[in-house]
Amino acid sequence: MSIIEVRELTKVFRQPVKGPGLAGAFKHLFTQKYVEKRAVDNIHFSIDEGEVVAYVGPNGAGKSTTIKMLSGILIPTSGHVSVNGLIPHKQRMENARSIGVVFGHRTQLWPDIPVMESLTLIKDMYDISSEDFKKRMDFFVELLEMSDFLHVTARKLSLGQRMRADLAAALLHEPKIVYLDEPTIGLDVAVKQQVRSFIKKINREKHTTIILTTHDLGDIEELCKRLIIIDKGQIIFDGPLESVTDQYARERVLHFQVMERVENPHQYLQGLPGCRLEEKSDTHFSVYFDKTLLSASDIVSRFLGAANIIDFKIDEPKIDDVIKHVYEGKLHLDPREESV
């Protein structure tokens, strides 16, 4: 029994278009021309309760438009959408009780009051009882290590702290479905890990359905079993994640910054399969490797004795590259599962 059902869903926007320059602006005063944009074009999918799905695509592909229709903020042009048995835009407030949203770039918290006060306000908005509130707060505070910033005003939080607080805020009312938009963007490795484990735990224990929109492949690999790719308003892939990662998204890049130039750095990678080195400058070079064949430490250890390493960082591939490859047909994937 699917908790989210989307059939023939379409959203068309009308945008005014004006000619360039001053003349165009002036003409625009008298005659207005519009162009139609099919942001979401006849898409289908269904999601079962408890699934963790990555909903990805390049910018402007229709991701946020879809999410907005699922949360009831946007009215579809045509088609059918049902979430938890309700039609989101028709029963918006009821639907609101069973969903939680984390906007990666915007916070739910009130900026000039302590985090705890924001959460208490949210408790009141969702009619959460004091016992439930206390229980859930204890849970969040422990798992997300919130005790040292609960009484700080939201404006003064670091990005990592803010994200954790926003997660608590979104999950306070134990929604059945959570939409996470870029939840780990800009976070450092440690906090990213914390956020990912938290999300995994919530999914396991509360059976929360999670829809994740992100450009971070690391997020997707750790959390999601299913991947839906949307591009130019149409779904071009819907299936298990392995199909994608096994064939692609194996490349990682290690960027090194060294004190002084290393003589013939290629020699240190001898014997290591499937990697190549590019020198960017005297003090910077990068190593491209296949993560299924090597680990980052395999490579770093090779240079530890030889070079005075000031800094290094690892690039995780972007989902955009994966999509590009799917689209270019470089990826041969399992056929889409049709919903019953």
Q: Which residues bind other proteins (CB under 8 A)?
A: 13, 18, 21-22, 24-26, 28-29, 32, 65, 68, 71-75, 84-86, 89, 92-94, 96-97, 99, 101, 103, 106, 108, 110-113, 117, 121, 124-127, 153
Of 25 and 304, the one with the shorter C-beta distance to other proteins is 25
Cα 4 to Cα 269: distance, rounded to the nearest angstrom: 49
Closest to other proteins by CB, 124 or 263: 124
SS3 assignment, position 201: helix
Between 113 and 296, CB nearer to other proteins: 113
Looking at the Cβ atoms of 128 and 241, the one nearer to other proteins is: 128
Rounded least distance, CB 52 to other proteins, Å: 20
Residue closer to other proteins (CB basis): 106 or 135? 106
Tokens of 82: 């049902």
| Sign of the torsion angle spanned by Cα atoms 160, 162, 168, 171 | negative
**What is the spatial distance between Cα 100 and Cα 80, in angstroms, rounded to a whole number?**
21
Q: How far is the CB of 227 from other proteins (least distance, A)?
A: 25
Residue 256 CB, nearest approach to other proteins (Å): 30
Of 92 and 336, CB closest to other proteins = 92
* 3-state secondary structure (DSSP) of residue 192: helix
Nearer to other proteins, 73 or 275 (CB): 73
Query: How many whole angstroms separate alpha carbon 231 and alpha carbon 57?
Result: 6
Q: How far, in whole angstroms, is CA 340 from its chain's centroid?
A: 27
Question: In the complex, what is the shortest distance from the CB of residue 146 to other proteins, in angstroms, rounded to a whole number?
Answer: 19
Rounded to 10 degrees, the C-alpha dihedral 158/159/164/165 comes to 60
Instruction: Quote the least distance from Cβ 180 to other proteins, whole Å.
Output: 13
15/264 with CB nearer other proteins: 15
Least distance in angstroms from the C-beta of 101 to other proteins: 5
HSE-CB of 74 using CA atoms within 13 angstroms: 20
Q: What residues contact residue 306 under an 8 Å CB cut-off, 6+ apart? A: 262, 268
Q: How far apart are CA 137 and CA 105, in angstroms?
A: 23
Rounded to an integer, what distance in angstroms lies between the CA atom of residue 287 and that of residue 302? 12
CB of 159 to other proteins, least distance (A): 14
Question: Could you tell me which residues are beta bridge partners of residue 179?
Answer: 101, 211
Closest to 46 in 3D by CA, of 206, 191, 209, 178: 209
Minimum Å gap between C-beta 277 and other proteins is 35
Let me know: does 221 contact 241? Beta carbons within 8 Å.
Answer: yes
